[in-house]
Chains A and B, each alone.
Chain A
């Protein structure tokens, strides 16, 4: 009798389970094969046309700046949501009465190859040609992933990454120069956001990276390399955002201040 009841309960569970799971199976197939169910939700409003219309109305009373690169260029981490696009015009006011118009094409997580592809897509050509200044922040994402490797692999990977990064950067600068031979290219160096995981080896790698980048940028003739490592080294608590990686509002202000000081005379002179 007991066996009979076990048999019936097993049969019931099996039948119910089978039906439920078949429904799930059908769903699983439809979810992976169905035609894209998501309509393109509200096309994001772009700011670019606004700026370019402003451009045509005023003639020489402004500077144009284009910001290129990764999340730092974008302004990620700023709790006030301004980033370089917000602070640089404020700091530039100390040096000029002209207006600063900023175009920000930064993309979170961009690596040097991505930047090169972005430029080679020619979508930005017109903006590049119009710019007086081009601020570039790139390389952080190229180098970030090797931090977790062991020392031996790290050394090796570093060389590989740096080589590809350098060649990408070289080409990037070439592209920029063919479109706009006159703009000042401001290049941001890398810093170390991890205060607790700094070994001398890591620091040395970071310095090598920055040094080689600086060489490249200076070769350009109209480029300037702005170090960030020194500014942030003892100020991580003050300048780094909650996410432990990007600068916060104060950090972006400090960097903007440094940039404006570095190119201040050029602004005043022109």
Chain B
């Protein structure tokens, strides 16, 4: 049987199990809730600001922006500035100038900003959980329901069956990431307007000798930044998917496999907090999931981690997971 037909079979199986529908439904509900909440807190922030700085400061933001721009220009002329501050100043000025030119209040939220932030916040926990929903019972589900027998008695090598399952998983991961993008762009568009895709966003931070280096900082348009965020999200999704699939094969019980991978994910979140001086934690996959932080220049949890480092560690985990999966799946005795 051809691999293509096998994948088709797997995808149709996933659709008829309604698993993908569940994931999409969860996305729709959560994105709506987040967008609504963002909208609320935005109005609150504006109210607070105008209370503190006087109505004029928030209503007439152009004046303030003009003032800031002048200040920053002056600062840039100062001979006592180091290069690092200069480039981040230049980036800030470009952004402010864009806001002024296009009449965009810097406080205002936009669909583009929301879409990016949504994935930045989901990449280390929420997105992996969605992927686990898809991946965790791909093999163990068939073990527990007994259908694996029917699958394996056919005249197809086992590795081909597993490969088809794996590729199906990759396809679904792409679908989930793409629909997360589309859904949040559309839903938040109703709250904040559909624009904002051309606004400049600062990126290009590097970590040099444990310190954030802002010398290379420059602006890219928001759409490009979003694209980078979502592709990193896909990478994370594929890695988490591979690991879940491995656990799903090893454990054979769906509940146990979901439990194991979920607890390790959650543990990763406070592992980096409690054990940040313990060097070995940085080789764990859960600590390396926040890839987007490197783009935004937020500080990394453990000293010595860079984007390339994290990607390599995740790659190592994924490859190991795939190898273990294939070896175990082709060698094991299946008794149902």
Where chain B touches its partner, the secondary structure class is helix
Q: What residues of chain B lie closer than 8 Å to A234, measured between beta carbons?
A: none
| A244 B52 Cβ-Cβ under 8 A | yes
A108 to B75, CA, bound (A): 7
Binds A, one of B148-156, B231-239, B256-264: B231-239
Interface residues of A in 18-47 (CB under 8 A from B): 18, 20-25, 27-29, 31-38, 40-41, 44-47
The digit string for A108-137, where 1 denotes a CB below 8 A from any CB of B, is: 100000000010000100000000000000
| B52 A194 Cβ-Cβ under 8 A | yes
A17 to B224, CA, bound (A): 15
Q: Does B203 contact A (CB under 8 A)?
A: yes
Binds A, one of B23-31, B242-250, B303-311, B323-331: B303-311
Interface residues of B in 19-78 (CB under 8 A from A): 51-54, 56-57, 63-64, 67-68, 70-71, 74-78
| B231 A24 Cβ-Cβ under 8 A | yes
Instruction: Report the minimal beta-carbon distance from B220 to chain A, rounded to whole angstroms.
Output: 7
Given contacts A14-B174, A27-B227, contact A108 B80 (CB under 8 A): no
Instruction: Report the minimal beta-carbon distance from A47 to chain B, rounded to whole angstroms.
Output: 8
Q: Does A146 contact B (CB under 8 A)?
A: no
Instruction: Report the minimal beta-carbon distance from B308 to chain A, rounded to whole angstroms.
Output: 6
Q: Which of B12, B15, B206 contacts A33 (CB 8 A)?
A: B206
A107 to B71, CA, bound (A): 11
Q: Which residue of B lies closest to A121 (CB)?
A: B80
Q: What residues of chain A lie closer than 8 Å to B125, measured between beta carbons?
A: none
Q: What residues of chain B lie closer than 8 Å to A29, measured between beta carbons?
A: 307-308, 311
Given contacts A22-B231, A243-B68, contact A33 B307 (CB under 8 A): yes
Instruction: Report the minimal beta-carbon distance from B88 to chain A, rounded to whole angstroms.
Output: 11
| A34 B216 Cβ-Cβ under 8 A | yes
Q: What residues of chain B lie closer than 8 Å to A3, measured between beta carbons?
A: 12, 15-16
Interface residues of A in 165-198 (CB under 8 A from B): 194, 196-197
A72 to B131, CA, bound (A): 52
A145 to B308, CA, bound (A): 34
Chain A interface residue count, CB cutoff 8 Å, equals 54
| B174 A13 Cβ-Cβ under 8 A | yes
Instruction: Report the minimal beta-carbon distance from A131 to chain B, rounded to whole angstroms.
Output: 16
| A7 B8 Cβ-Cβ under 8 A | yes
Given contacts A17-B175, A24-B228, A32-B294, contact A243 B74 (CB under 8 A): no
A23 to B81, CA, bound (A): 37
Q: Which of B57, B70, B295 contacts A32 (CB 8 A)?
A: B295
Chain B interface residue count, CB cutoff 8 Å, equals 61
Q: Does A241 contact B (CB under 8 A)?
A: yes
A105 to B244, CA, bound (A): 58
Of residues B67, B235, B291, which shows the largest number of chain A Cβ atoms within 10 Å of its Cβ? B67
Instruction: Report the minimal beta-carbon distance from A37 to chain B, rounded to whole angstroms.
Output: 7
Q: Does A6 contact B (CB under 8 A)?
A: yes
Q: Does B171 contact A (CB under 8 A)?
A: yes
Q: Does A76 contact B (CB under 8 A)?
A: yes
Q: What residues of chain B lie closer than 8 Å to A105, measured between beta carbons?
A: 78, 80
Q: Which residue of A lies closest to B77 (CB)?
A: A44
Q: Does B222 contact A (CB under 8 A)?
A: no
Given contacts A81-B74, A108-B71, contact A11 B307 (CB under 8 A): no
Q: Does A48 contact B (CB under 8 A)?
A: yes
Q: What residues of chain A lie closer than 8 Å to B99, measured between beta carbons?
A: none
Q: Which of B64, B79, B172, B306 contacts A44 (CB 8 A)?
A: B79
A11 to B235, CA, bound (A): 18
The digit string for A191-220, where 1 denotes a CB below 8 A from any CB of B, is: 000101100000000000000000000000
Q: What residues of chain A lie closer than 8 Å to B114, measured between beta carbons?
A: none
A7 to B172, CA, bound (A): 11
A79 to B69, CA, bound (A): 11
Q: Does B87 contact A (CB under 8 A)?
A: yes
Instruction: Report the minimal beta-carbon distance from B275 to chain A, rounded to whole angstroms.
Output: 25
Q: Does A242 contact B (CB under 8 A)?
A: yes
Q: Can you show 9 pairs from A to B with CB atoms below 8 A apart?
A: A11-B11, A11-B171, A17-B177, A17-B234, A31-B204, A32-B205, A38-B87, A44-B76, A44-B81
For the complex of A and B, list the 8 residue pairs with the smallest distance between their C-beta atoms, beginning with the closest: A24-B231, A46-B79, A244-B53, A24-B227, A25-B231, A28-B228, A21-B231, A14-B171
- Residues of B at the A interface (CB closer than 8 Å) are 8, 11-12, 15-16, 51-54, 56-57, 63-64, 67-68, 70-71, 74-81, 83, 86-87, 90, 170-172, 174-175, 177-178, 203-206, 215-218, 220, 224, 227-232, 234-235, 291, 294-295, 306-308, 311
